[in-house]
């Protein structure tokens, strides 16, 4: 993701969005199947998902 942001190749925004969606789906599956996450972790994941949905079109900065 960081490389895509740095290179800004055509349609990088769409690719990053799909990668984030994939991460959220994998986390959701882990929560549903294993129940290894604490309620705090579930709240953090829910907050992150809400944040990305709300700020989808907002320019973000990822620092290494």
Provide the total of helices (H) and of strands (E) in the chain, helices listed first. Answer: 3, 0
| CB-based contact 13:60 (threshold 8 Å) | no
Nearest-angstrom CA–CA distance, 2 and 4: 5
Query: Which portions of the chain are predicted below pLDDT 70?
Result: 35-39, 60-64
Tokens encoding 11: 């349609």
Nearest-angstrom CA–CA distance, 2 and 22: 16
Tally of residues, the chain: 64
pTM of model > 0.85: no
């Amino acid at each position: 993701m960081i490389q895509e942001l740095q290179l800004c190749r055509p349609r990088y925004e769409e690719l990053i969005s799909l990668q984030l969606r994939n991460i959220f789906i994998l986390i959701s599956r882990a929560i549903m199947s294993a129940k290894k996450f604490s309620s705090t972790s579930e709240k953090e994941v829910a907050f992150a998902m809400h944040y990305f949905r709300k700020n989808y079109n907002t320019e973000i900065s990822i620092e290494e």
